[in-house]
Amino acid sequence: MTAVEQSRLDLAGEVPVLLVKVGGYPLGYGTLGAVRSLGRLGVPVYAMVEDRWTPTAMSRYLTRAFVRPTSGRESPEHVLAIVRDIGRAIGRRCIALPTDDEAAVLLAEHAADLAPTFLLPPVPAALPRRLADKGSMRELCGQFVPVPRGVAVRGTRMEAARAARIIGYPLVLKNLEPFTRLYRPVVPHTTVVQDEHQLLALCRADGNLSVLVEEYLPRESSESWSTHLCCGPGGEPLAVFTGRKLRSYPPAEGSATRACSVPNPELADLAARLCKQLGYSGVADLDWRLDRRDGRYKLVDFNPRTGAQFRLYETVHGVDVARALHLSLTGRAVPQGPQLERYFAAGQLDLLSAATATWQDRHVPSDLRPRRSTERAWLCRDDVVPAAAMAVRFGGQAIRRLAGLARRPLTGARG
């Protein structure tokens, strides 16, 4: 980066950032990525964390960790009181950056009350909740872009079974609503379901389901893509990135553990136009499937916050979506330039995903060789402690999860 380009990204000064979270995900590497991205440019970064030993809390780029664990069961007033208290402790008006859907919903719906303490993008108050809800997201975004067939179920498991017969097996099961997915999930994560027996085993019989039954797009005839964006007022695109998800954890169903940045003008334009049509403002992470059977990109998720692997994406001028938001909310222009083509890897999570894929597919993945252009979720030379903390915390959990996955029947991949 040249001296001129670096000066354009001089974010240091009087405007700090608070990373707001709801729920427990201590190994969330998107939060750590935001701390490093902003902290490296001199921005004071504060974060809500589950405990003092989370990898994010141990980053040298974090100004202060606020140990404020939440579960998603708390009232909005309780969580907002925590956020306000942290804002007062920081002592300066700062940018509030959500790292999960629930935080994005609360910040948008209470933006007017939070305005004296926090800088927030001018997103329509009700929009993040509609986007975070998998059912209303389909209805809303499906007016502008293709989406897979799906049925939102709020009821009994027999209603889920009837919806599944309409969609057909195999299918994808997703928790439907923000907040509910934290304290009353139907599935632990997006899950491929092979038949009705498996569906009924996953769904409770208490008549209180909140789940999306969605069409399965098989990996042999589709590709997994993502777009990460930062939009200004009215949905004006400030930074748009595109890339491929190569591997995920849990395998084929979770967040990307290996991905590559690939410029895709068609998809970038599709995502930017969607945000413009919605009037979306702020940072967003959109997941797409390119269905090669009809040649269309189909939107499968719209996350109104930073994505786990957003640090994959950066322009030649050093702009990522978190930095673009900071520039925008502090009244500065966002430098325009092409995105870097590079890889992203999530360390032990990717090794676990690759090991499971090897067992399921009976062959070793071809992309295990390290690449010099890889942005790593955990390990980096200038901030080594979080990677060590993650390795310690991850050990036993990873072994238990791998054993559980190995006992599952072989399924097609999605992701």
| Tally of helices (H runs) and strands (E runs) in the chain | 14, 16
Mean pLDDT of the chain: 89
Whether 414 has a pLDDT exceeding 50, the answer reads no
Average pLDDT over residues 114-133: 98
Q: How confident is the model at residue 5 (pLDDT cuts 50, 70, 90)?
A: very low
Instruction: Tokens for 318, please give them.
Output: 């050093």
Q: Which residues are within 8 A (CB) of 14 and not within 5 positions of it... i.e. 6 or more apart?
A: 92
Q: What is the pLDDT of residue 339?
A: 97
* Close Cβ partners of 328 (under 8 Å, ≥ 6 residues apart): 121, 230, 232, 238, 334
Which structural domain range is residue 162 located in?
Answer: 149-216
Final residue belonging to a domain, choices 302, 319, 345:
345
Token pair in block for residue 286: 């959109």
Are 230 and 301 in a shared domain? yes
Identify whether the C-beta of residue 219 lies closer than 8 Å to the C-beta of residue 192. no
Residues 292 and 317 in one domain: yes
Domain-embedded: residue 196:
yes
pLDDT for the residue numbered 12: 63
Same structural domain for residues 316 and 260? yes
185 with 252, same domain: the answer is no
**Range 288-296 average pLDDT:** 96
Phi, psi of 28 (to 5 degrees): -75, 110
In-domain check, residue 354: no
**Would you say residue 127 lies in a domain?**
yes
Query: Given 196, 216, 236, which residue is the final one in a domain?
Result: 216
Nearest-5° Cα angle at 151, 149 to 156: 155
Identify the bridge partners of residue 143 per DSSP, sorted by sequence position.
none
Q: Does residue 231 share a domain with residue 86? A: yes
Pull the structure tokens for residue 145. 């872009």
Beta-carbon count within 10 A of 392 CB:
11
pLDDT band at 347 (very low <50, low <70, confident <90, very high): confident
User: Sheet holding 191-193: strands in order across?
Assistant: 150-153, 211-215, 171-175, 191-193
Please report which confidence band the pLDDT of residue 411 belongs to, taking 50, 70 and 90 as the band edges: very low
Where does the pLDDT of residue 408 fall: very low under 50, low under 70, confident under 90, or very high at 90 and above?
A: low
Work out the number of other CB atoms within 10 angstroms of the CB of residue 82: 18
Does 328 lie in the same domain as 233? yes
108: DSSP letter: H
At residue 391, does pLDDT exceed 90?
no
Weakest-pLDDT range from 99-103, 150-154, 201-205, 289-293: 201-205
Higher-pLDDT residue of 338 and 257 is 338
Domain contains 356: no
- Tell me, what CATH number does 266's domain have? 3.30.470.20
In a domain, 139, yes or no: no
Cα dist from 181 to 147, 215, 245, 267, whole Å: 21, 20, 23, 29
Rounded to an integer, the average pLDDT of 90-96 is 97
Q: Is the pLDDT of residue 392 over 70?
A: yes
Average pLDDT of span 64-68: 98
Query: Do 30 and 18 contact (CB within 8 A), yes or no?
Result: no
Which tokens belong to 392? 């310690």
Same domain, 181 and 44: no
- Whether residue 137 lies inside any domain: the answer is no
Domain co-membership, 36 together with 116: yes
Same domain, 116 and 49: yes
Return d(Cα 344, Cα 229) in angstroms, integer: 17
Span 6-58, pLDDT tens digits = 445 777 677 999 999 999 998 889 999 999 999 999 999 999 999 999 999 99
Please indicate, yes or no, if residue 82 is contained in any of the structural domains.
yes
Last residue of a domain, one of 345, 380, 408: 345
pLDDT the model gives residue 30: 93
Binning pLDDT at 50, 70 and 90, where does residue 372 land?
confident
Structure tokens at 233: 């007022």
Residues near 12 by beta carbon (within 8 Å), at least 6 away in sequence: 41, 42, 43
Task: Report how far residue 241's alpha carbon sits from residue 224's, in angstroms, rounded to the nearest whole number.
Answer: 14
Residue 110 falls within a domain, yes or no?
yes
Give the separation between CA 88 and CA 69, rounded to whole angstroms: 18
Residue 175: pLDDT band (50, 70, 90) is very high
Question: What pLDDT sits at residue 354?
Answer: 66
Are 127 and 152 in contact by the 8 Å Cβ rule? The answer is: no
CATH number, domain with residue 178: 3.30.1490.20
Both 114 and 181 in one domain: the answer is: no
Residue 365 clears pLDDT 70, i.e. is over it: no
The answer, yes or no, to whether residue 296 has pLDDT greater than 90, is yes
How many other CB atoms sit within 10 Å of the CB of residue 135?
A: 20
pLDDT of residue 259: 92
pLDDT at 224: 94
User: What mean pLDDT do residues 345-367 have?
Assistant: 70
For CA atoms 404, 408, 413, 415, the dihedral sign is negative
In this predicted structure, what is the pLDDT of residue 361? Answer: 64
First to last CA, the chain: 33
Q: What's the total number of domains in the chain?
A: 2
The predicted structure's pLDDT at residue 2: 37
Helix H or strand E encompassing 284: strand 282-291
Question: Do residue 235 and residue 93 come from a single domain?
Answer: yes
Q: What is the pTM of this model?
A: 0.90
More confident residue, 411 or 382: 382
Label residue 410 by pLDDT band (50, 70, 90): very low
Query: pLDDT > 90: what percent of the chain?
Result: 75
Which residue blocks in 179-264 are alpha helix, DSSP H? 180-183, 196-202
99, 37 contact by CB (below 8 A): no
Buried b or exposed e, range 346-376, using 16+ CB within 10 angstroms: bbbbbbbbbbbbeebeeeeeeeeeeeeeebb
Q: Is the pLDDT at 350 greater than 90, yes or no?
A: no
248 Ramachandran zone, left/alpha/beta (phi>0; psi -120 to 50): beta
Rg (CA), the chain: 20
Helix axes 265-278, 134-141, angle to 10 degrees: 100
pLDDT at 291 over 60: yes
Q: 246 falls in which pLDDT band (50, 70, 90)?
A: confident
Q: Are 253 and 189 in contact (CB under 8 A)?
A: yes
Contact 43, 369 (CB under 8 A): no
Whether 74 and 203 share a structural domain: no
At residue 207, the pLDDT reads 75
